[in-house]
């Protein structure tokens, strides 16, 4: 099947908002609920998931009303951090986006974050994506493939015509469950999280159009 579409996750793939999310989650769980929270817990329990699903994973005994309230606290902490300074951009991702545009690859952003559009606008990428699917558009969080299937549909492409770029284990699983080629971006040297990926790299600077096209020829 021909390579026609590229679907990018946002946090940890295009921009480095992971430290902001981690700090906001840590403030919520340790400050409000007195639950220890470290990077491994972040990756295992909340990374790549919609906000409320992350809270349910950490605090399964909360009522839905309490889950929503905790989610609002986390969001307010995160936005406070997000709007207080610049966002770190991953140069490899921006270079790859420019290269894929030159080859007429159709592109979508697909992130569980409800802040996706604000972040893309802040880094001047909004116009590069034909479709933007975010937390407002989905009912099921990763590892359910809904978000990527919706992105492919918005591009008017089949899953097998698209590559997904993901940095979380849940995101890689979602992509493969949806029938996509997946590039797993392992920024923290945790290869076990990317066993399902078709290509496993530490950064998108190692990826280009030719490399991706070969994945579709296997």
Mean pLDDT to the nearest integer, 134-154: 95
Domains 5-16+87-215 and 18-82 share a fold: no
Structure confidence at residue 50 (pLDDT): 84
Instruction: Determine the 3-state secondary structure of 19 from DSSP.
Output: helix
pLDDT tens readout for residues 65-113: 999 999 999 999 999 988 887 889 999 999 999 999 999 999 999 998 8
Report percent pLDDT > 90 for the chain. 81
Q: Is residue 218 predicted with pLDDT exceeding 70?
A: no
Q: Between the CA of residue 159 and those of 60, 130, 144, what are the distances in Å?
A: 33, 16, 14
CATH number of 5-16+87-215: 3.40.50.1000
pLDDT tens readout for residues 155-180: 999 999 999 999 999 999 999 999 99
Domain range annotation of the chain: 5-16+87-215, 18-82
Tell the residue number behind the tokens 């569980």, with chain if given: 112
Considering the segment(s) 18-82 as one domain, its CATH architecture is Orthogonal Bundle (1.10)
pLDDT tens readout for residues 13-24: 999 988 898 999
- The phi and psi torsions of 117 (rounded to 5 degrees) equal -65, -40
Question: Which is more confident, 87 or 25?
Answer: 25
**Of all helices (H) and strands (E), which one includes residue 119?**
helix 116-122
Tell the residue number behind the tokens 């997946």, with chain if given: 182
Structure confidence at residue 83 (pLDDT): 87
């Amino acid at each position: 099947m021909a390579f026609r579409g590229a679907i990018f996750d946002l946090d940890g793939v295009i921009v480095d908002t992971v430290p902001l999310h981690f700090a906001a989650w840590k403030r919520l769980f340790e400050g409000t609920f007195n639950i220890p929270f470290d990077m491994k817990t972040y990756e295992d329990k909340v990374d790549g998931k919609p906000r409320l699903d992350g809270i349910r994973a950490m605090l399964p005994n909360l009522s839905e009303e309490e889950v929503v309230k905790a989610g609002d606290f986390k969001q307010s902490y995160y936005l406070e951090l997000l709007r207080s300074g610049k966002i770190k951009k991953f140069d490899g991702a921006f270079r790859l986006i420019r290269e894929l545009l030159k080859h007429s690859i159709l592109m979508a952003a697909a992130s569980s974050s409800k802040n996706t559009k604000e972040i893309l606008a802040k880094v001047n990428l909004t116009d590069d994506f034909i479709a933007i699917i975010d937390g407002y558009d989905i009912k099921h969080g990763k590892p359910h493939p809904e978000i990527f299937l919706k992105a492919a549909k918005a591009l008017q492409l089949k899953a097998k015509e698209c590559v997904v770029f993901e940095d979380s284990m849940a995101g890689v699983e979602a992509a493969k469950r949806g029938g996509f080629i997946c590039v797993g971006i392992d920024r923290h040297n945790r290869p076990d999280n990317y066993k399902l990926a078709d290509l496993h790299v530490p950064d998108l600077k190692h990826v280009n159009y030719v490399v991706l096209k070969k994945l579709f020829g296997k």
